[in-house]
Amino acid sequence: MFTLVFAFASSCQNSSSRGSSKNDKSSEASEKEIRSQAQLIVQFSAQTLLEKLKSSIAQKGLLGAVDFCKLEAAGISDSLSLVFGVDIKRVSEKNRNPSNAPEGDELEYLHQFEEQGEEAESILIKKGARYTYFAPIRIAGGLCLNCHGIVGETMSVEQSEHINEEYPNDKAIGYSLGDLRGMWRITYN
């Protein structure tokens, strides 16, 4: 897996250095490359977190999912940030981890994704020389609902109590399939 990550990261870093021309067409091509890279980074990050989460659940049960997210998920995102040379963050208005609360314009983008529903497309913003990519995170399957669903329906009372012990100010419950959970933020420095 490390070889795959390294090869992917190398291709992202190499292609992002191309297209530094001032020509508008070159700039558009560069933005398409950045958007494409960011989409791949989001897919890879989501897949990596999901695989690790499933492994934790297989070893420790659903209660282990909460512990995984609290103790390991941020570290995995930080490691992938280093590998890809970007800042990777998950953001949610209904956050469980306070460090995932929206900052600056992020709340506006979350509301855009909410208003656009299932058809919401990613957003690429350029401020100065910095690009930031945002992509919606939706509740895609039943596994998510075990920790983010409706207590007594899709989430057990025991799971809810464990989450409240670990995250006393949790806001990340009450979701159904297809709901907007938050968004990915990929920042190119």
Q: Following DSSP, what letter does each residue of the chain receive, concatenated? A: -HHHHHHHHHHHHHHHTS---SSHHHHHHHHHHHHHHHHHHHHHHHHHHHHHHHHHHHHH-HHHHHHHIIIIIHHHHHHHHHHHTEEEEEE-SS-SSGGGS--TTHHHHHHHHHHHGGG---EEEEETTEEEEEEEEE--SHHHHHHHS-BTTTB-HHHHHHHHHH-TT-------TT-EEEEEEEEE-
**Rounded to two decimals, what is the model's pTM?**
0.85
pLDDT of 27 reads 73
pLDDT of 25 reads 63
pLDDT of 9 reads 47
pLDDT of 189 reads 83
pLDDT of 15 reads 43
Along the 189 residues of the chain, how does pLDDT read in single tens digits? 443 443 444 445 444 443 344 556 667 769 999 999 999 999 999 999 999 999 999 999 999 999 999 999 999 999 999 999 999 999 999 999 999 999 999 999 999 999 999 999 999 999 999 999 999 999 998 999 999 999 999 999 999 999 999 999 999 999 999 999 999 999 998
pLDDT of 14 reads 44
